[in-house]
Structure 1
Amino acid sequence: MTLEYDSTNPTLINSVVCFIDILGFQSLGLEAIKKGKGNEFLRDLHVSLTEAKKSLTPYTHLSAKVKVFTDNVVIGWPIFQDGEGELGNTFFNLSEYQFSLALNGYFIRGGISVGEHFMDEETVFGPALFKSYELESKVAIYPRITLSAESKENVERYLSFYSNKKDSPFYTEVLEDMDGEWFLNYLHILIDRFEEEIDENDYTPLYPYLKEHKHKIEESLNKYAGNYKLLKKYAWIANYHNYFCDEFIPRSDNFKISSPIKMSYPRRIL
């Protein structure tokens, strides 16, 4: 059984809600237009977003709704029962989306909340949407998807379902940042993808993706070397990339990034 948003009787439903956008999208577009490369940028963006969107709606039978307006995405997923499945699947799908765009040089930030929400083709409304937007615009700051207090409370409750909390998928899907904010550990999607092909002695299937991820970050670090405000945002993602290599991928020093701004590593939520 699932709950669905009903356009014939718009009603707020307890939902998992996410709002995300592409970091620096306007400046990227204006720069491309200024250089006479507007069409080239448009085509690249269109291909990247079209491919990435597949990960947001992998199953047509689900009640989740997605609205996309170029660089802005809103996801609403009505919660049935305790919501563990809806929140867990949202984390997984968003990690796929975030990683797919990162490999194309587009880094995103956003917020995930849990609460009352409604959406259909014409309308998106509810306190959970407002909270998700606030997280994206005021809290995320860096290219990360952060969790609301309600989302964190739900994750902590789901962790309690396990006799060993480290057996829960949330233990690897979510990290706590240096400022105390929880965010999606999207690079872990690599380990999920290649779970059957890797072991503690062989992570080689992941290496091409780590190499490309590193390359895209280094391009941005070089591009914004003279703009400290933007440089700091890409230094954050370089720091996260390096943390992931150290924490999850043995013998991955060759894939780490030399960042001009040093930051403290994030940490596990337990």
Structure 2
Amino acid sequence: MISEVYAAIVSDAIARVRTMETQYQAGPLVWELIDLLHIRVEFLQSGNLVRGTLTIGHMHLGIGFEGPVFGPGLVQAYEMEEREVVFPRIAVHEDVIERHRRDRNLWREGHDFEDEERHLRNLLRQDDSGLHYIDYLRASLSEFDAPYLDWLGFLQSHKEFVEAGLVNNPNAMVRRKFNWLRNYHNAAIDEALSGFEQNATLADGLRLDELLEARRIEN
């Protein structure tokens, strides 16, 4: 048996549950993060924001996995979202990070901790308060079919989405969320610029640094 995913609508939210204690260790945590990354990207491309949390804990799924869905894992996710997740991001509870260090059920078979840690570093970002969240702008680079071209296209659509949100939302609370997105977007641009070789070009000769700078959101 491999790790499986179940989803259910709970009030005004969608609860996803992934099994982890299986016969084959497929690395359920990393796969869940990758799935959530893709969900995040797809929602943004359709013009919608996502806010949520990833926790670890026991869950009741019902007979035949037909619900109802409830349990301490869901309670912890709800409480964390209400208390800590103000901005549109998918946060990861510190218990998940700590459990991952010591529980091989969360690792892929054949991996050591260094392998697993490297995957998490590529998928997660940590803010000044220590909160981890899915770094969808940076991590999505390797998830597109044509990494650089598709990723640059996604950055452009993300830029336009955030700029429209800043212009069209008079509500101060909503504007704060788009201001956070602008800062995150520009930080991802800066990190990409520092990570590529100077004067690096794509196959058509266009300079990568110029393409990235063109996708920066001005203050």
TM-score surpassing 0.5?
yes
Counterpart-to-counterpart distance in 2, 1:169 and 1:228: 36
Give the TM-score, by structure 1 length. 0.64
- Is 1:126 matched with 2:68? no
Query: Cα 1:220–1:88, aligned 2, differ >3 Å: closer, same or farther?
Result: same
Counterpart-to-counterpart distance in 2, 1:149 and 1:161: 17
Counterpart-to-counterpart distance in 2, 1:176 and 1:83: 27
Relative contact order higher in (CA < 8 Å, ≥ 6 apart): 1
Cα deviation digits, residues 178-223 of structure 1 (max 9, x gap): 222110111234312247x55xxxx334221110111111111111
- Structure 1 segments unaligned to the other structure (5+ residues): 3-61, 260-270
Between the aligned residues of both structures, percent identity stands at 23
Q: Give the structure with the larger helix fraction.
A: 2
- Is 1:256 matched with 2:216? yes
RMSD (CA atoms):
2.6
Residue 222 of structure 1: aligned partner: 167
Letter in 1 for 2:73: A
1:15-34 equivalence runs, <5 A: none
- Structure 2 segments unaligned to the other structure (5+ residues): 197-208
Letter in 2 for 1:123: P
Residue 185 of structure 2: aligned partner: 241
1:9-158 equivalence runs, <5 A: 63-68=4-9, 72-80=13-21, 85-119=27-61, 120-157=65-102
Counterpart-to-counterpart distance in 1, 2:92 and 2:35: 15
Counterpart-to-counterpart distance in 2, 1:147 and 1:180: 11
Residue 175 of structure 2: aligned partner: 231
- Is 1:213 matched with 2:158? yes
Deviates more, 1:184-193 or 1:137-146: 184-193
Residue 114 of structure 2: aligned partner: 162
8 A Cα contact 1:108 1:143, kept in partner: yes
Query: Cα 1:194–1:103, aligned 2, differ >3 Å: closer, same or farther?
Result: closer
Residue 175 of structure 1: aligned partner: 125
